Amino acid sequence: MPSYVTTEYPSTDGVARADRFAHWAREISQVFGGLDTRPVAANAFHGTATCDALGQLLLGSISAGPLRVRRTERQTSRGEDDHYKVALQVAGTCVVEQDGTYGTLGPGDLAICDTTRPYAFRYDAAFRTVLMLVPRAMLPVRPEAVRGLTARRLAGESGAAAVVGPFLRSLGEQARVCAGPAETGLADGAASLVTALVSEGLDRAAPAEPGHAMMLRIRAHIDSRLPDPGLTPDSIAQAHGISRRYLFKLFAAEGLTVAGWIRTRRLERCARDLAGPAAARQPIGMIAARWGLLDGRHFSRVFKAAYGQTPRDFRRRALTERAPHGRISTEADG
């Protein structure tokens, strides 16, 4: 997964008229990964954008002329990207396509695409949009389930979309001034809201699927209680009025175990904190305990099994890659 560190300002301002689109296509592709960008009008092109890192997220606020953007089969086959792209249409219209599904977005509407598969966005007139790249691992929903929702219009008039849309627009405007603990909290909040958006969309699309809505609620419950060492199958089953046996059956249907899922989500939160500058001087044991992993030796063992590195080595490498000239201090390691 790429490490987004700086604010980027792709723009055609000051670029010769004949070179504007080629310049734009190159700049946007460098920020958002391999893309095939083409004009859809013969008149002079103009585009501006602000692209900001927010923890593991990337936010782009874009205003541009008519264009078409595609991510091709060849570009997805490189295996360099593993995100969901969340698009909020602010002005103008857009047609988004993935897997043969088309959605037409107007102002306030949202759509989600999976960057591991080809997709396309077409804007036939000048437009404004907010784009957010979210690592797939941050959403506690199976990619196979999300596939049923990609490229569909998520109407912004009501429900979760009516909440997520204004949040993303504001986040796109304020991301560059958010840092430290605020950065982590806002990134988590954004991922939680997108999870709610996806969960609502899937529930509406397939309300009769056995156990589907229950499983979404259980996953959200687990994510909200990861810091609690007392989070157990018994407590989860009791909170949802089901038996342990039925709880295990729900997870087994997805090839998972309850304990394994809790551990995976806790390790993901630990990895995020270890890789972020806001917690660079916090002891590793404190970070693990914050996410309900109180046994330091056990944490180190399961973290290395999951990430191929000890927590100390993982942190050092991640922070060195983020720091200018490779300088970083992690004096609190331990």
User: Does the structure show a pLDDT above 50 at 331?
Assistant: no
User: Does the structure show a pLDDT above 90 at 87?
Assistant: yes
State the average pLDDT over residues 149-158. Answer: 92
Residues in a beta bridge with 129: 62, 89
Rounded Cα distance, 282 and 105, in Å:
44
Give the range among 13-27, 142-156, 203-217 with minimum mean pLDDT. Answer: 203-217
The pLDDT assigned to 227 comes to 94
The pLDDT assigned to 328 comes to 38
Give the range among 110-114, 174-178, 267-271 with minimum mean pLDDT. Answer: 174-178
Instruction: Compare 181 and 271 and report the one with higher pLDDT.
Output: 271
Which residue, 250, 261, 273, 252, is CA-closest to 319?
A: 273
Give the range among 66-75, 90-99, 293-302 with minimum mean pLDDT. Answer: 66-75
Rounded Cα distance, 329 and 320, in Å:
9
User: Does the structure show a pLDDT above 50 at 307?
Assistant: yes
User: Within the chain, what is the greatest distance between any pair of CA atoms?
Assistant: 67
User: Does the structure show a pLDDT above 70 at 173?
Assistant: yes
Give the range among 9-18, 104-113, 233-242, 269-278 with minimum mean pLDDT. Answer: 9-18
Give the range among 89-103, 109-123, 191-205 with minimum mean pLDDT. Answer: 191-205
User: Does the structure show a pLDDT above 50 at 103?
Assistant: yes
The pLDDT assigned to 323 comes to 56
> What pLDDT, in 10s, does the model give residues 246-277?
999 999 988 889 999 999 999 999 998 898 88
Please state the pTM of the whole predicted model. Answer: 0.69
Rounded Cα distance, 183 and 278, in Å:
9
The pLDDT assigned to 326 comes to 36
State the average pLDDT over residues 204-215. Answer: 67
Cα torsion through 180, 186, 191, 195, rounded to 10: 150
Residue 324: band (very low, low, confident or very high) from pLDDT cuts 50, 70, 90: very low
Residues in a beta bridge with 47: 64
Instruction: Compare 297 and 15 and report the one with higher pLDDT.
Output: 297
The pLDDT assigned to 246 comes to 92
User: Does the structure show a pLDDT above 60 at 228?
Assistant: yes
SS3 content of the chain, % helix, strand, coil (to 5): 45, 20, 35
Q: Which residues, 6+ apart, have CB-to-CB distance to 27 below 8 Å?
A: 8, 10, 11
Share of the chain above pLDDT 70, in %: 89
Rounded Cα distance, 169 and 167, in Å:
5
> Across the chain, what does the average pLDDT equal?
85
The pLDDT assigned to 114 comes to 93
User: Does the structure show a pLDDT above 80 at 127?
Assistant: yes
State the average pLDDT over residues 219-228. Answer: 91
The pLDDT assigned to 329 comes to 42
Q: Which residues, 6+ apart, have CB-to-CB distance to 96 below 8 Å?
A: 87, 102, 103, 105, 111, 113, 119, 120, 121, 122, 151
- 110 neighbors 164 (Cβ within 8 angstroms): yes
State the average pLDDT over residues 54-83. Answer: 83
> What pLDDT, in 10s, does the model give residues 44-56?
788 888 888 888 8
Alpha helices in the chain (DSSP H): 20-32, 73-76, 143-146, 159-174, 181-205, 212-224, 233-239, 244-252, 258-275, 284-290, 296-307, 311-322
